[in-house]
Amino acid sequence: MPALITLKDVSFSYDDRLIIEGINLSLNERDFLGVVGPNGGGKSTMLKLILGLLTPDHGQISVFGKPPNLTRTRLGYVPQFATFDSAFPITVLDTVLQGRLGKTRSLLGYSKQDHAIAQQAMIEADVESLQKRAMTALSGGQRQRVLIARALACEPEILLLDEPTANIDPHHGETIFELLHRLHERITMILISHDVGFVSRSVTRVACLNRTLVCHATSPVDSNSINHLYSGPVSVIHHDTRLSPEDKQ
């Protein structure tokens, strides 16, 4: 089977500052690719290049055998940060329906099918009970699940997630990782995460990115590769978010 996504010798710069250099990477069907690396290493930039939001200075990117800008509707994207204007009372349902933009009719509003798909996405992300609430009234973990539901509403063949557990508590982070495990049963994924412990035990492949692709292995990330990537010692911590019997009382 041909690769779903291919990057060949891809380089990209912002204002003459080299962000990504000579990246070669392929994503195959049913892959769950974890991408780790330091801040500023080019991880988010790589996702934007795959989405066609940025154009590489050098090299080629192919998504489903085509240029990225022609295949965006086949990808679901969960951005790293999403802010909502408190003066703009968008609801959870309205947010999830945004995932149908580009997949449905441009006039006359959302169809019954769009609403049905949005409902299913909210059920899968466990936010259906929140659909009438304003996004600004949600916790960080709830908001992140809504953004995943919005990405699912476009019925993606590949899901791209940029730090989906950033700035939320460990318990909600663990439940989001559990959700991603279930979704991976049918969706190919690329996940950017600073949670090296999760990445090393959960994904099918790992890419370590710090301007160049310094590690691309099928085996779990070990301490030597992580220390080399971050140019210093890094501890991998296992965190168990399950409550003890005493905590449940």
Per-residue pLDDT tens for 30-68? Answer: 999 999 888 889 999 999 999 999 999 999 999 999 999
For residues 51 and 75, the answer to whether their CB atoms sit within 8 Å is: yes
Q: Cite the DSSP H helix spans in the chain.
A: 43-51, 92-97, 112-124, 140-152, 170-183, 196-202, 223-230, 245-248
pTM exceeds cut of 0.75: yes
Distance CA 107, CA 199 (A): 42
Contacts of 171 by beta carbon, 8 Å cutoff, 6+ apart = 141, 241
Side-chain-side CA neighbours of 213 within 13 Å: the count stands at 17
- What is the distance between the alpha carbons of residues 168 and 232, in angstroms, rounded to a whole number? 26
* Average pLDDT, rounded, for the chain: 84
Q: In the chain, what are the domain boundaries? A: 5-248
In tens, the pLDDT along 125-139 reads 999 999 999 998 998
- Mean pLDDT of the 155-161 span: 96
CATH T-level topology, domain 5-248: Rossmann fold (3.40.50)
